[in-house]
Amino acid sequence: VKAAVFASGTGSNFQAMLQKKFLEAEIVLLVCDRPDAKVIEIADKYHIPVYARPPMDFPSKAAYEKKVLKQLQVHRVEWIFLAGYMRLIGDTLLSVFPNRIINIHPSLLPAFPGKEAIEQAVRAGVKVTGVTIHFVDSGMDTGQIIAQQAVKMKKGESLSQLTKRIQSVEHRLYPETINKLLSRSNGL
Ligand code: GRF
């Protein structure tokens, strides 16, 4: 199964997928909305094609997504994995990939959607937070939940220590969930 990863930032989840010994999906394209993002260096290192035109260069979101869609079709992409992609996906892509776009989010959704989810959880004083993998719909972190793992808060822990623990859960849970999901849908 060929897949594209969409990312805007450092790309540690992208790297974790590439490092997984056996991933059910072959990652054939990175789509990045920021030409200066770190994640592009990872793609280069693994010789994965990159599409990194800024959406600002296009007259509308639909025009941008149409161009992205063309790239996805050229590479015969069937699944899209969002990994720190800081934009909502619009109808142009959602209609072509129904239930074929998934996202990872660093909280136990529906708690703390949107930006700075880990900070939001710390500020709220919750005792447990975690990681969610979900299907993508037109909302912000609102699609059907596929997998979750809880992470307990530790007393006196700094935000960066908590962030590290959450990331290490992400890096294991995302490739594992992709494998489960794809082996299930291939069997249908
Ligand atoms: C991750 O915490 C992910 O859950 C969120 O954005 C972050 C991306 O991190 N959606 P990275 O770029 O994969 O390191």
CB of 141 closer than 6 angstroms to any ligand 1 atom = no
pLDDT confidence tier of residue 188, bands split at 50, 70 and 90: very low
Residue 168 to residues 48, 106, 171, 172, 186, Cα–Cα distance (Å): 23, 11, 5, 7, 28
CB of 171 closer than 6 angstroms to any ligand 1 atom = no
Ligand 1 test: best mutation among 142, 166, 167, 174, most atoms within 8 Å of CB? 167
Domain coverage including residue 146: 2-186
Domain count, the chain: 1
Average pLDDT over residues 107-116: 98
Q: Are 65 and 94 in contact (CB under 8 A)?
A: no
Interval 51-92: pLDDT, tens: 999 999 999 999 999 999 999 999 999 999 999 999 999 999
ipTM value of the model?
0.97
Give yes or no: 105 in active site. Answer: yes
The answer to whether residue 27 scores a pLDDT higher than 70 is yes
CATH number for 55: 3.40.50.170
